[in-house]
Amino acid sequence: VVNNIDGVLIYEKNTISIFRNHGSVLPINSDTNIISVNSNADTGNLLTRVYGYGANDSSGDPITITQVNPTGLPYVENYSYFLSLGYEENYIKNNPTIFVREGRYEDNAITSAQTLLTKTQEYLERYCKPTLNCDLILSLNNTSMANNIKLNMYRNIFDDQTNSYIPCRVTSITQ
């Protein structure tokens, strides 16, 4: 079982390639090496709306993004995950109890509303997608391949269905 492996695994047709951080490639062919690939999306930490709060202004209230946000709202939104699943924007907006998942970004060192907006958007970008988990079961019958994959190595598998990377760690190897 390969679960959480470092670098990038790219699955294309019947081949998974491991691109190590230093650039070498280790091909894994589904016809000979892959026993199974299972992934699931954990939406427990997924956010679609984030409020931003910075340092206190001269009146003692925290700086917000309202005055610099193009929408004029005190939050930013990103529904890209639900849109990628085929939900239409009007349906999402008309069903906030299903799709709105709120969070807060706070940084008491930020004194600029524009900087706060940028940081709030960056924070939302990190959390607007689910955490993906993967189990990859491989048969490593090649000595050089087995030497390149070690227990507790970390890699990311690219999932083209969600356009996201799935963190995987090698937890066992069968040769």
Tens digit of each residue's pLDDT (9 = 90 or more) over 108-159: 999 999 999 999 999 999 999 887 666 656 555 555 555 666 666 665 655 5
pLDDT of residue 49: 98
The β-bridge partners of 155 are: 5, 168
* pLDDT surpasses 90 at 169: no
- Kindly give, in sequence order, each residue whose CB lies less than 8 Å from that of residue 64, ignoring residues fewer than 6 positions away: 51, 52, 53, 54, 74, 113, 116
Pick from 30-34, 81-85, 120-124, 170-174: least confident:
30-34
Structure tokens at 175: 């040769």
pLDDT value of residue 113: 97
pTM strictly above 0.85: no
Q: How distant, in Å, are the alpha carbons of 63, 64, 138 from that of 59?
A: 10, 13, 61
Let me know: does 7 contact 24? Beta carbons within 8 Å: no
pLDDT of residue 37: 58
Residue 3 vs residue 93, higher pLDDT: 93
Task: Give the length of the chain.
Answer: 175
The three-point CA angle 170-172-174 to 5° equals 120
Instruction: Give residue-wise pLDDT tens across range 71-112.
Output: 999 999 999 999 988 999 999 999 999 999 999 999 999 999
CA dist 29 and 32 (Å) reads 6
Q: Which helix (H) or strand (E) holds 126?
A: helix 113-127
Q: Beta-carbon neighbour count of residue 124 at 10 Å?
A: 20
Check if the beta carbon of residue 35 is closer than 8 Å to that of residue 139.
yes
